[in-house]
Amino acid sequence: MDIRVHGPAPTTPFLGAADLLETECDLDRPVHVRVRQDPDERTWTAHPDDHHVLNISQQAATSAMARELALHEYAHMARHEQAHPSHTQSTEEALFLALAGRSVERRKLTHCYQIANHMKDIYADDITLDVGPSDKLVAFLESELAAALADRADDARGRRTTATADPEITAVNAAFALALVERHDLADRDHRLYDLAHAAADDAPDVDVQTFKYRFRALGDDPGESEYRKALVDATQEYVLGSDGQAAD
């Protein structure tokens, strides 16, 4: 793999992640790692015609999770090169199919994109968890869910300034975490993550955490385009319409 790091960060985590990925698959296109000064910059990828771009904050690039974050994003790049349906399906198209003719509040629509990202992450992490250690990932999922629950608990008036503090998407995030853990047998059922997920479910009674956990966990390894599209449409409708079949105004 051809890895080129641009910015103030060590190259070791990015090269180490590439070594891990190469035990399972390789990337045909070079990867340009662009280290950003903004500490709030999220780690994300882009795919120009002749290369991939990994954007990451300097804070993340120099953290203990740097190698794991890079490996996860390399796995997304691999899925992109494989033309895997999870990475070629238009989210906008699926949302249109799922919600045509219905009025949906902007908050929930934003959450639908997060659900689509979770489904992409399932397939990326199928690669990362085949080639890399899982202990940091489980600790990261636990930490993120605990932080989201703390944000909710500390806000006496219920005002939500970030998606992670919203109890409904926090419940979906909890379902994703459990699905990933169970899909790859990463933790026992007495792990603290299950207690946190139960608390998240209590905070969002309109979200069926068990249903979403099953949807994420049961995603087929190699779905066809129509199969994957249907899975994304069904998950979107489950979140927005719920059991009563009515979207929020």
25 and 121 in a single domain? The answer is no
120 and 157 in a single domain? The answer is yes
- Token pair, residue 36, equals 């950003």
Q: What region, left, alpha or beta, does residue 157 occupy, with left being phi > 0 and alpha being psi -120 to 50 degrees?
A: alpha
107 and 213 in a single domain? The answer is yes
Residue 175 counted as domain residue:
yes
195 and 120 in a single domain? The answer is yes
* Spatial distance between the Cα atoms of 137 and 129, rounded to a whole number of angstroms: 9
Using the predicted structure, report yes or no on whether residue 74 has a pLDDT greater than 60.
Answer: yes
Using the predicted structure, report yes or no on whether residue 9 has a pLDDT greater than 60.
Answer: yes
pLDDT band for position 232 (50/70/90)? Answer: very high
Nearest to 2 by CA among 45, 51, 35, 36: 51
pLDDT of residue 178: 98
Total domains present in the chain: 2
Using the predicted structure, report yes or no on whether residue 188 has a pLDDT greater than 60.
Answer: yes
Report the alpha-carbon angle 41-43-46, nearest 5. 110
Residue 75 counted as domain residue:
no
Residue 48 counted as domain residue:
yes
Residue 80 counted as domain residue:
no
Q: Is the dihedral of CA 181, 148, 79, 224 positive or negative?
A: positive
Residue 220 counted as domain residue:
yes
103 and 17 in a single domain? The answer is no
Residue 76 counted as domain residue:
no
Nearest to 226 by CA among 111, 88, 103: 88
Residue 97 counted as domain residue:
yes
The DSSP-derived string for 146-165 is HHHHHHHHH-TT----SGGG
203 and 124 in a single domain? The answer is yes
The CA-based dihedral angle spanning residues 112, 118, 124, 128, taken in that order and rounded to the nearest 10 degrees = 160
pLDDT of residue 78: 97
Nearest to 196 by CA among 147, 249, 248, 159: 147
Using the predicted structure, report yes or no on whether residue 246 has a pLDDT greater than 60.
Answer: no
Q: Tens digits of per-residue pLDDT, 116-161?
A: 999 999 999 999 999 988 999 999 999 999 999 987 654 433 333 3
103 and 179 in a single domain? The answer is yes
pLDDT of residue 165: 63
Range of the domain at 53: 3-66
* Prediction pTM value: 0.90
Q: How confident is the model over 57-81, as a mean pLDDT? A: 95
45 and 109 in a single domain? The answer is no
Of 66, 95, 114, the domain-final residue: 66
Of 22, 39, 66, the domain-final residue: 66
Asked if 86 and 114 count as a contact pair (C-beta separation under 8 A), the reply is: no
Q: Tens digits of per-residue pLDDT, 167-186?
A: 999 999 999 999 999 999 99
29 and 136 in a single domain? The answer is no
Residue 71 counted as domain residue:
no
Using the predicted structure, report yes or no on whether residue 241 has a pLDDT greater than 90.
Answer: no
> What's CA 12's distance to the chain center, in Å?
24
Say which DSSP state 7 is in. S
24 and 102 in a single domain? The answer is no
201 and 90 in a single domain? The answer is yes
131 and 217 in a single domain? The answer is yes
> One-letter amino acid identity for 146?
A
